[in-house]
């Protein structure tokens, strides 16, 4: 028997979809090689640039998950054997470095502890050691979903500039874009990579990139074998609003509307809303007397919060019970955090009441496990913060 009432899907994406986006996708398919579809594509590409905060970059849309887009970023800019520096701070940044190895690149990993952010100094040191500038690319993650940590991408760019290093800056912003600020032009992001199912308010199924002139230049000499994820035919066909192969028509309808929603609300307001809800969650965690996986407050993500349960309590049990008994889906701890931490997604088209419901549900779940804390303390702390910052 299904749980009554609405599901609270509070994993770190996909999110609870806006119904406006859902209904837009639920429309009859049209000819993806016809004039009407071409218009939609062109409108999307223009607004995607705004969301990537670029004027010089080129947005690309692949029928794939975000992982496909991370592969695309590599095979279009690198040749087999190329040296790359991968900075890892958790599961998803590490996954990208493994993916790079699988494609035959020579991957040097700057492995930072789970929970930490990425400081300019550490990156600079690593780059400075590369005296002959052999790294072709630096791989970093904007928002590490496994730990709830957001990277200061400006600091990575600063390290590259300070080291006068010509490597491309490739940024995985799968869970960052549309939630927390990323400025491709201003911050010198050569390739940004994302997916549809987080800040872009859609179901999974699109892998998106934003690539700048430097990346396109690299593409010309990159010799990695590629076809499906090849940028060249995509850029060529996109000019007229088309694709080298069948695009995901229905997700394109949804993206068209989701971009409207993001830009109607305004990116600054979207980011501020994410910060405000995230801070509510962090206050709740403090109210419970518990700790986030993110070590330093300045690194804490506005997208997702990973929370340690006290020792002796199993986070996977918590997650299983809230999902089954309370219609609340939380994210599991990954890798070394498995069983020790759970993750609360607070991203997308969401608001204060959904955050309170989530926190209230987490509290019920923890009490069912006999975790020691004061019932209601987290909710009240978040409410207090929401009141302090209420501005309508």
The DSSP code sequence of 94-138 is HHHHHHHHHTT-EEEEEEPPTT----HHHHHHHHHH-TT--EEEE
Task: Compute the least distance from the CB of residue 188 to a second copy, in Å.
Answer: 27
Residue partners of 61: CB distance under 8 A and separation at least 6: 44, 48, 206, 207, 208, 243, 247, 252, 255
170 to 189: interface string for a second copy, x by CB under 8 A: --------------------
Residues in contact with a second copy, counted by CB under 8 A, come to a total of 101
Tell me which of 45, 368, 369, 371 binds a second copy, using CB under 8 A.
368
Which residue number, 28 or 312, has a Cβ lying nearer to a second copy?
28
Task: Compute the least distance from the CB of residue 324 to a second copy, in Å.
Answer: 7
What is the distance, to the nearest Å, from the Cα of residue 380 to the centroid of all Cα atoms in its chain? 29
Tell me which of 104, 119, 310, 339 binds a second copy, using CB under 8 A.
104
Per CB under 8 A, 103 contacts a second copy? yes
Kindly state the tokens that stand for 125: 């040191």
Per CB under 8 A, 379 contacts a second copy? yes
Which residue number, 163 or 284, has a Cβ lying nearer to a second copy?
284
Kindly state the tokens that stand for 268: 């600054």
Which residue number, 22 or 314, has a Cβ lying nearer to a second copy?
22
Please, which of residues 129-168 interact with a second copy by CB under 8 A? none
The DSSP code sequence of 152-204 is -HHHHHHHHHHTT---EEEEE-TTTTTTS---TTTTT-SEEEEETTSTT-S-S
Kindly state the tokens that stand for 209: 């990139």
Per CB under 8 A, 280 contacts a second copy? no
Question: What is the spatial distance between Cα 210 and Cα 203, in angstroms, rounded to a whole number?
Answer: 20
Task: Compute the least distance from the CB of residue 241 to a second copy, in Å.
Answer: 15
Provide the terminal-to-terminal Cα distance of the chain, rounded to the nearest Å.
41
Per CB under 8 A, 329 contacts a second copy? yes
Per CB under 8 A, 30 contacts a second copy? yes
CB neighbourhood size of 219 (10 A): 19
Secondary structure class of 51 (helix, strand, coil): helix
44 to 83: interface string for a second copy, x by CB under 8 A: -------------------xxxxxx--x--------x---
Which residue number, 163 or 306, has a Cβ lying nearer to a second copy?
306
Which residue number, 7 or 128, has a Cβ lying nearer to a second copy?
7
Question: What is the spatial distance between Cα 215 and Cα 212, in angstroms, rounded to a whole number?
Answer: 5
Per CB under 8 A, 3 contacts a second copy? yes
Secondary structure class of 346 (helix, strand, coil): coil
Candidates 49-57, 294-302, 335-343, 350-358: pick the segment binding a second copy (CB under 8 A). 350-358
214 to 253: interface string for a second copy, x by CB under 8 A: ----------xxxxxxx-------------xxxxxxxx--
């Amino acid at each position: 028997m299904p749980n009554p009432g609405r599901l609270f899907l509070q994993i770190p994406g996909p999110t609870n979809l806006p119904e406006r986006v859902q209904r837009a996708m639920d429309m009859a398919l049209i000819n993806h090689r016809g004039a009407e579809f071409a218009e939609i594509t062109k409108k999307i590409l223009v607004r995607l640039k705004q969301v990537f905060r670029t004027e010089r970059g080129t947005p690309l849309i692949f029928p794939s998950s975000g992982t496909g887009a991370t592969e695309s970023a590599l095979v279009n800019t690198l040749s087999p054997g190329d040296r790359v520096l991968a900075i890892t701070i958790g599961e998803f940044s590490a996954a990208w470095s493994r993916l790079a190895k699988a494609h035959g690149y020579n991957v040097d990993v700057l492995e930072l502890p789970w929970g930490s952010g990425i400081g300019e100094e550490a990156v600079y040191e690593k780059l400075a050691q590369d005296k002959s500038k052999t790294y072709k690319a630096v791989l970093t993650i904007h928002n590490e979903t496994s730990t709830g940590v957001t990277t200061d991408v400006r600091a990575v760019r600063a390290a590259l500039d300070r080291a006068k290093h010509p490597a491309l800056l490739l940024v995985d912003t799968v869970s960052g874009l549309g939630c927390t600020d990323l400025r491709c032009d201003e911050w010198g992001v050569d390739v940004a990579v994302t997916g549809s199912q987080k800040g872009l308010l859609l179901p999974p199924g699109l892998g998106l990139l934003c690539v700048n002139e430097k990346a396109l230049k690299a593409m010309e000499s990159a010799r990695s074998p590629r076809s499906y994820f090849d940028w060249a035919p995509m850029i060529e066909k996109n000019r007229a609003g088309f694709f080298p192969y069948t695009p995901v028509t229905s997700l394109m309808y949804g993206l068209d509307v989701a971009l409207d929603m993001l830009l109607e609300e305004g990116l600054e307001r979207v980011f501020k809303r994410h910060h405000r809800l995230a801070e509510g969650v962090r206050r709740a965690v403090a109210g419970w007397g518990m700790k986030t996986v993110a070590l330093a407050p300045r690194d804490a993500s506005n997208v997702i919060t990973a929370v340690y349960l006290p020792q002796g309590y199993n986070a996977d049990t918590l997650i299983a019970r809230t999902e089954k008994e309370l219609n609340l889906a939380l994210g599991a701890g990954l890798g070394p955090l498995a069983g020790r931490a759970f993750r609360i997604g607070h991203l997308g088209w969401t608001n204060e009441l959904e955050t309170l419901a989530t926190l209230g549900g987490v509290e019920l779940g923890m009490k069912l496990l006999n975790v020691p804390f004061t019932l209601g303390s987290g909710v009240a702390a978040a409410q207090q913060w929401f009141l302090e910052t209420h501005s309508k």
